[in-house]
Amino acid sequence: MSRPLVRPLTRLAYHDALARMRAFTAGRDAGTPDEIWLVEHPPVFTLGLATRPEHLLATGDIPVVQTERGGQVTYHGPGQALAYTLVDLRRHGLMVREFVRLIEQAVIEVLADLGLTAVRREGAPGVYLSAPDRGAGAKIASIGIKVSRGCTYHGVALNVAMDLEPFSRIDPCGYPGLAVTDLRSQLGPATLAMETVATLLGEKLADLIEGKA
């Protein structure tokens, strides 16, 4: 089976999701099918391995969780679709950098289907808007993964319709003043429901990963 199984959107505390990802990855073997978990979290700041303390400005009452993923600090909260990619890279002949670009491509294609032009930036994983009249340069999706025994977990967070204020309490992804946006800010009332966007993202990821089998 080369196409990952896409799990439906679940609302789950971050600690629970992290524990389940770790357990799944530790327990899998060469025959374990890949999975993509679609998740929405209560408010939480998560720290990647490269996070520096000065990038936490005023976290307030929002929990802060250290993780083993790559990258720096980001925010997760209601209205954000996370796709956790539990993928055996060896099965698909993928290197880590290529896999990150595949994730970025999935987001770019989903946004294009919704009428938004977005791009990747070299040296700054994630997806950013590019159209001048649509908040060019603003980040709309963040990526951070962990690889254990050739298998990935963590994944990508796409901002759909969320309270963006908590991003002002940090330097998002380690960049002071980085503008962050979501689909609602760009599309207004035309924004699709969370479940719809999450499913589009999960299926696009599964398509691209399957194409690498």
The annotated binding site for substrate is made up of: 69-76, 142-144, 155-157
Place of tokens 């971050």: 14
Q: What share of the chain is helix, strand, coil (3-state, %, to 5)?
A: 35, 30, 35
The b-or-e profile of 159-180 (16+ CB within 10 A means b, else e) is: bbbbebebbebbbbbbeeebbb
Query: Which residues are known binding-site members?
Result: 69-76, 142-144, 155-157
d(CA 125, CA 110): 17
For the annotated catalytic residues, the residue numbers are 173
CA distance 56 to 161: 23
Q: Residue 134 is encoded by which pair of tokens?
A: 């649509």
Q: What is the C-alpha to C-alpha distance for residues 46 and 58, in angstroms, rounded to an integer?
A: 14
Contacts within 8 Å (CB) and 24+ apart, 111-116: 111/140, 113/200, 114/183, 114/187, 114/192, 115/187, 116/140, 116/183, 116/186, 116/187
Q: What whole-number distance in Å separates Cα of residue 74 and Cα of residue 54?
A: 13
H/E stretch holding 4: none
